[in-house]
Every structure is written in C-alpha cells, then in structure tokens.
Structure 1
Amino acid sequence: MIETVVSAPAVAAVAVHAAERVPGVRVQPGVAGLAGSLVRTARQQVKGLRPARAEGVRVRWSGGDAVLEVDVVVSGLDQAAAVAAAVQRSVRSVVPELTGVEVESVLVTVVDVAW
C-alpha cells in the first residue's frame, strides 16, 4: 500500500489558490502570519526552491484533518462577511479536491479593505 503525505505548505498554497478564486479577494498575511512567512521563504530560498505562494494561510492538523486560517483583503465594494463566507466555501471544496486532505474548519480574517 502506498501512502501519500501532503505537507502543510502544499495545503496552504492550494488554499491561497482557492481563496483568490473568489472575486474581490487577495490573500495577504496578517501580523500573525508575517514572521512565519519570512522564515519559510528564507529557508526555501537557501535550498534553491521556488515554492507556490502560501503566505496568508496557516495550517495545523487536528487528527488527519486540516484546520486552516486564511488572512484576506477584500474589495470595499462587497460585504466583508459575505466575501469571507465565500472564501470558506471555496477553500473547503478545493483543498480536498486537489490534495485529498479533509478540512475540519476554515477561519477567515479580513485584515484590510481595498478601496
């Protein structure tokens, strides 16, 4: 039997893709994710890797399921709560489809509104 392991950065990159499919959304790290993002990027550059963008998404595991935190900037033309709900739906459907990883929850934080 072959076991496939999907890393947290891979899940985060897919979550960025899923979130940014929602019109008026840009994933951007908030204060909590900025330091970790800088460390991860520096480590990958030292190794000569050019990874997919995963900044603005934090992944932790609950059993075998992913718990995702997504920081977004939304358009000032849309209702922030409705956009955040659309991001949750997109991430919850796309991450399992592309990675096989089940999603326990998606917490969306609106870090800014772009006018």
Structure 2
Amino acid sequence: MRALVDRIGGFKRVAADMWPEKDPQDAGRLLAKCLDNDRPEKLSLEQVFYLMRQGRQHDCHTVMQWLGQELGYNVEAISMETERERLQRQAIAAVASLQQITAKLEALA
C-alpha cells in the first residue's frame, strides 16, 4: 500500500483527497499511521478500495499483484482500451443480429 501511495502522489496529497475535511498535513500523517502495521489506526475496506482504484487510474497494480501472490492467483490488469474494444465488438454484433432479425421479420410480413 505504501508503494501505491507513493506512486499516486504521496501521503499528503492522497490523504488530502481521501479526507478533504482534514488539514493535508494531518491527513497525511493519519494515512501513514493507517498503513503502519504496528499502529491501531486502520483503513476501512472502502478506503482500501479507493486507494486501489486510484492506483488503477495511475497504472499501479502493486496491491492487486501482492494479493494475487499471497493467495495463489495470477493477477493481470485488463487495459481499459481492451475493455472498450470488447464492448464495441459486442455492440457491433448486437446491431448486426438486430438487423438480421428485422430482415427476417420483414420477409415474413
């Protein structure tokens, strides 16, 4: 998590985004405490997911890769472009299918 925070902007900047109501210095210190295994302060699951999503946006997948290694999974990030291309192919196929159905319905009429 520390590597992810460093990669996406550092403790002060990331924590200021997480807790905009707090002073950036105080927020940065709190985030550092939350990521210290020896401290009682911890992040909620929603906050962990927030950090992981921020990492995803910055092409930083260290947390997911660590989780995969710890749990015996092979984790590979799906590029957003690949996802966009997959959805475009599905949309094109759906339109083509609809055109075929429409043509058959017209032939029956």
TM (normalized to structure 2)? Answer: 0.28
Structure with higher RCO (Cα < 8 A, 6+ apart):
1
**More helix as a share of residues:** 2
Higher Cα Rg, which structure: 2
**More strand as a share of residues:** 1
